Amino acid sequence: MVNQGLPLPADDYSPRTPEQEVVMVADKYNSKSIPPRFLTAEAYARKAARFGEENRQRWEELVQQYGNIDVPALAAEFHMDIEY
């Protein structure tokens, strides 16, 4: 958090329960930008890779575990753009 300049205390924010992990995975599909847009699994993989190959590989494992969601359908339902 410190190296990203986020206003959060330094700590381990890794999910500790299956429920936390599901929420974390779902959160990765949201760009958190203005205006908000959905990210495809591939788009988030590129973002994850900026923090190391291990991070990208962990994301790929999570996509395999939970499935690759239908981002275009969600974007249509919520009237949001997609980052591919």
Query: What does residue 38 show for φ and ψ, rounded to 5 degrees?
Result: -85, 150
Please list the residues that pair with 39 across neighbouring strands: 83
- Overall pTM surpassing 0.85 (yes/no): no
- E strands, the chain, where? 37-39, 81-83
Range from 11-15, 45-49, 75-79, 80-84 carrying the lowest mean pLDDT = 11-15
Q: What does the pLDDT average to over 3-13?
A: 81
How many Å from the N-terminal Cα to the C-terminal Cα in the chain? 26
The helix or strand, by DSSP H or E, that contains position 33, with its residue range, turns out to be none
What Å distances lie between residue 57 and 19, 62, 75, CA to CA?
21, 9, 25
